């Protein structure tokens, strides 16, 4: 079997340690015992069968010689049907050559042994690489250069005790390339933690995208980077909170609530009512808005995070009555609710960025800019601007990848499967169902409701008026 002594034929293929086709039991050639395939390791047997399957499949399908022109078009189809990794055309042709010249003996497809003691050297060197790798995959995050110095030092110390063949260390480039070939996600987990790894690699295996309008609606709150003025007294009243609902299928903003109370069930209730009910107030309240806000109807699932306002009994009971499922996302997994988070960033970066009275998340970025002093926009004005931006701009702009336009995607969705809408009678019942549930004590004069937040706000306005008068 002369062909078995050609180690270069399969230099790019499967390599195995200490494999030969014969075992010598004596000093004479007559004492040579030939091995059968079963005597090889399982990995070698699997590789032999892979080669055999590809050869037999190609023999049935091939029309012509074993050339690149004939083999290349068939390799992908063979790999799909056999569910095995396809070789290169040249490698497959070499397999066929050795197999046919051996008289079609299966043992001829055994991968050839690598000449010399290279596998032994590599195995010894890998022990030290594994030690260096353990030092690299730690939360302290040492640099590759620092780990390579450790790797080189350990091998140099070991070589001092070796007489004869020394262990050859990888060059820095070889060490660097080997590190870079490690699974990026596993490296990120070891050096930065699973949370940041999932964030970077968008591990969204629990996320199923919506297939129809209002199947999944995301909701969340954020304080806007802007200070607004009171419409009546013209004093700064602080940063407004925006509660936003966005449809996952169309990416349309289906409703929102803008106010100065910190996020609570009240904010959620007002935003839900705005999302579900028809937007008939737009044409009367904001005549400058050109297009239509057509988003309305009952959502199937409300995707929320773990904020206290989303765990309230009022929200749970209201959604049960309306037939809305509440989907709670796991903690610290914002990619399961990506659209509303991204829309908040868009509003703060595109809409509020140039309005006087802008605030800064980082106090160092503010420098000498006084947000309260420079605030000039009243709440009602910004409310109109926000409506106009959502209806006339956002809904009619393509996303960053130019894949779809929210308004057109919504129309496509409602033409396929329109959502459930409410009659005027149902809308009245809707307000009652979503109403804030609270207990009040009945007194002689009736029920008394005190809004302490509004009282505090007006006291603040009075205090500022007094301070202004004292200046004069």
Strands 216-223 and 301-304: parallel
Instruction: Write out the DSSP string of 79-100.
Output: HHHHTS----HHHHHHHHHHHH
Q: Model confidence over 33-54: pLDDT tens digits?
A: 445 666 678 788 888 889 989 9
Check residue 31 and report its DSSP letter.
Answer: G
Q: Tokens in use for 107?
A: 């043992």
Given a cut of 90, whether residue 244 has pLDDT beyond it is yes
- Measured from the Cβ of residue 11, the count of other Cβ atoms closer than 10 Å reads 10
Given a cut of 50, whether residue 113 has pLDDT beyond it is yes
Cα angle, residue 412 at apex, residues 408 and 416 outer, rounded to 5°? 170
Given a cut of 70, whether residue 430 has pLDDT beyond it is yes
Contact 58, 49 (CB under 8 A): no
**CB proximity list for 268: less than 8 A, separation 6 or greater:** 219, 243, 309, 310, 315
**CB proximity list for 302: less than 8 A, separation 6 or greater:** 217, 219, 319, 324, 325, 326, 327
Output the pLDDT for position 387.
Answer: 95
Contact 435, 311 (CB under 8 A): no
Given a cut of 90, whether residue 124 has pLDDT beyond it is no
Provide the edge-to-edge strand list for the sheet that holds 301-304: 253-259, 241-247, 216-223, 301-304, 325-328
Output the pLDDT for position 395.
Answer: 95
Q: Model confidence over 286-295: pLDDT tens digits?
A: 999 999 999 9
Contact 225, 384 (CB under 8 A): no
Output the pLDDT for position 108.
Answer: 86
Strand partners, 255: 245
Mean pLDDT of 459-464: 70
- Counting residues of the chain whose pLDDT is more than 70, the rounded percentage is 77
Given a cut of 50, whether residue 24 has pLDDT beyond it is no
Gap between the Cα atoms of 21 and 38, Å rounded:
12
Mean pLDDT of the chain: 79
Output the pLDDT for position 420.
Answer: 86
Contact 71, 89 (CB under 8 A): yes
Contact 226, 377 (CB under 8 A): yes
Please identify which residue in the block is written with the tokens 């969204």: 204
- Measured from the Cβ of residue 343, the count of other Cβ atoms closer than 10 Å reads 21
Output the pLDDT for position 359.
Answer: 59
Q: Model confidence over 202-223: pLDDT tens digits?
A: 655 555 778 899 999 999 999 9
Output the pLDDT for position 330.
Answer: 72
Q: Model confidence over 407-428: pLDDT tens digits?
A: 999 999 999 899 888 888 888 8
Q: Identify which of 262-271, 330-339, 458-467 has the greatest average pLDDT.
A: 262-271
358 pLDDT band, cuts 50/70/90, is low
Query: Is residue 332 left, alpha or beta, with left meaning phi > 0 and alpha meaning psi from -120 to 50?
Result: left
């Amino acid at each position: 079997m002369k062909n078995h002594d050609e180690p270069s034929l399969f230099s790019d293929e499967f390599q195995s340690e200490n494999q030969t086709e014969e075992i010598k039991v004596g000093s004479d050639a007559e004492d040579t015992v030939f091995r059968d395939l079963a005597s090889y390791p399982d990995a070698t047997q699997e590789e032999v069968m892979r080669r055999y399957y590809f050869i037999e499949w190609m023999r049935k399908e091939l029309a012509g010689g074993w050339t690149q022109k004939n083999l290349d078009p068939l390799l992908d189809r063979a790999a799909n049907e056999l569910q095995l990794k396809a070789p290169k055309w040249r490698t497959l042709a070499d397999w066929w050559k050795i197999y046919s010249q051996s008289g079609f003996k299966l043992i001829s497809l055994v991968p050839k042994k690598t000449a010399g003691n290279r596998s032994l050297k590599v195995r010894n060197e890998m022990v030290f690489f594994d030690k260096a790798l353990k030092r690299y995959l730690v939360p302290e995050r040492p640099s590759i250069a620092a780990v390579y110095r450790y790797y080189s030092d350990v091998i140099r110390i070991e070589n001092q005790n070796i007489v004869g063949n020394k262990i050859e260390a990888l060059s820095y480039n070889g060490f660097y390339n080997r590190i870079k070939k490690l699974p990026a996600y596993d490296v990120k987990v070891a050096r930065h933690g699973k949370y940041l790894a999932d964030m970077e690699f968008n591990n969204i295996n629990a996320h199923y995208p919506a297939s129809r309008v209002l199947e999944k609606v995301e909701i969340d709150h954020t304080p806007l980077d802007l200070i607004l003025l009171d419409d009546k007294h013209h004093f700064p009243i602080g940063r407004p909170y925006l509660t936003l609902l966005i449809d996952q299928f169309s990416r349309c903003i289906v409703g929102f609530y803008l106010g100065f109370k910190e996020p609570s069930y009240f904010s959620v209730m007002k935003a839900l009512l705005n999302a579900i009910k028809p937007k008939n107030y737009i044409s009367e309240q904001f005549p400058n808005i050109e297009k239509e806000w057509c988003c309305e109807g009952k959502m199937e699932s409300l995707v929320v995070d773990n904020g206290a306002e989303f765990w309230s009994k009022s929200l749970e009971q209201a959604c049960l009555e309306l037939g809305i499922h509440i989907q709670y996302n796991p903690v610290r997994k914002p990619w399961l609710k990506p659209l509303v988070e991204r829309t908040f960033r868009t509003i703060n970066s595109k809409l509020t960025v140039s309005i006087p009275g802008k605030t800064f998340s980082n106090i160092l970025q503010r420098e000498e800019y006084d947000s309260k002093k420079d605030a000039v926009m009243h709440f009602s004005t910004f409310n109109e601007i926000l409506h106009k931006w959502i209806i006339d701009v956002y809904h009619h702009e393509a996303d960053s990848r130019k894949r779809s336009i929210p308004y057109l995607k919504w129309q496509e969705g409602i033409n396929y499967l329109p959502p459930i809408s409410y009659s005027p009678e149902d809308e009245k019942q809707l307000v009652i169902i979503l109403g804030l549930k609270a207990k009040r004590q009945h007194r002689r004069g009736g029920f008394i409701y005190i809004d302490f937040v509004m009282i505090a706000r007006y006291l603040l306005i009075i205090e500022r008026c007094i301070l202004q008068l004292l200046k004069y």
